[in-house]
Chains A and B, each alone.
Chain A
């Protein structure tokens, strides 16, 4: 009798799981994407703040006096190169080649460090010239927006190094591949935000 009840109960339960759409086993990638979208809103608010305050120089230096486009171009190319090398790391990961993946990740990290170093040098130069964040509303919003992006890249580098250690120790396991895919989204997303920064802040700042 109990067996018969089990037999009657079992198929609907199984059916319940099977009628579920063919979906990824877990929502990590979707969840991470939604995190990125919330990060996108954070940057949108900072961009709006810069758009509103960017013209208030308080008789201090403006974008034309401060920004050096060759440096910005170098910075941009560093980030773009790091994006493509991360792409190569993902391709090697898909081929399950641990050594090559680690090598491309290391190159990506080097480009990331170069980007952050150039940006910090630029900030130090500004502050040295008396154009620190407290000088004017324009500079406060500039340092907040560009600094937040730089902070994201810095944390991306820390995450990258952590994952390199994990891949070295545990190999390209499904868990590590999921983590690398998340960092891939994060890294490329930061490059997308940087497009907004160099266009809206630097290029349009010099044009203003």
Chain B
């Protein structure tokens, strides 16, 4: 009799426990979706995908350079640069969880703006300084003395 009266009670308590846990879990999920992260925290699968892609995308350029696979250095340089750009994108997506909807799109907008500035800074500096270098370098002291 006592066991019979306890069982349903215990069962009910267990159900309630499960219910609260479920609600709690849902609440947490909600907090994580919009709370401290802003962007989602990602998943185990996402991190592993990013990691394995990064390993491949790091390994191939090192192999190309260390194993001297191509005789032509320019080909290797271009391939290595392409791998770097792809790996940066992989990191952005799988590790930094960047997408067009995080923080209402402002993350992406800030990134695009920064990338525009980075491209202007890098290409502008290299271009201008290369031309200055090319025009200034061949001058020997002899040439300098004979300048008009």
A: residues with CB less than 8 A from B are 21-25, 28-30, 33-34, 37, 40-41, 44-45, 47-49, 51-52, 69-70, 72-73, 76-77, 80, 83-84, 87-88, 90-91, 93-94, 96, 174, 177-178, 181, 185, 188-189, 191-192, 195-196, 198-200, 203-204, 206-208
Contacts and interface: CB of A to CB of B under 8 A. Distances in A.
Contact of A33 (B62, B73, B91, B110): B110
Q: B interface, by DSSP: helix, strand, loop or mixed?
A: helix
Given A40-B118, A69-B66, A195-B87, A94 B41 contact: yes
B54 interface: yes
B114 A40 contact: yes
Classify chain B: how many residues form its interface, as a range. 35 or more
Given A33-B107, A192-B96, 16 more contacts: A24-B38, A30-B106, A40-B118, A41-B117, A48-B122, A69-B66, A73-B58, A90-B41, A91-B43, A93-B41, A174-B36, A178-B36, A188-B96, A195-B88, A203-B61, A207-B80
A91 B44 contact: yes
A191 B95 contact: yes
17 contacts: A29-B36, A34-B110, A37-B111, A40-B118, A47-B122, A51-B125, A73-B62, A83-B51, A83-B95, A84-B47, A91-B43, A177-B36, A195-B84, A196-B84, A199-B61, A199-B80, A204-B81
Interface of B: 28, 31-32, 34-39, 41-44, 47-48, 50-51, 54-55, 58, 61-62, 65-66, 73, 76-77, 80-81, 83-84, 87-88, 91-92, 95-96, 103-104, 106-107, 110-111, 113-114, 117-118, 121-122, 125-126, 129-130, 133
A185 B96 contact: yes
B47 A33 contact: no
A41 B77 contact: no
B103 A29 contact: yes
Contacts of B28: 96
Given A30-B107, A181-B38, A203-B80, A44 B118 contact: yes
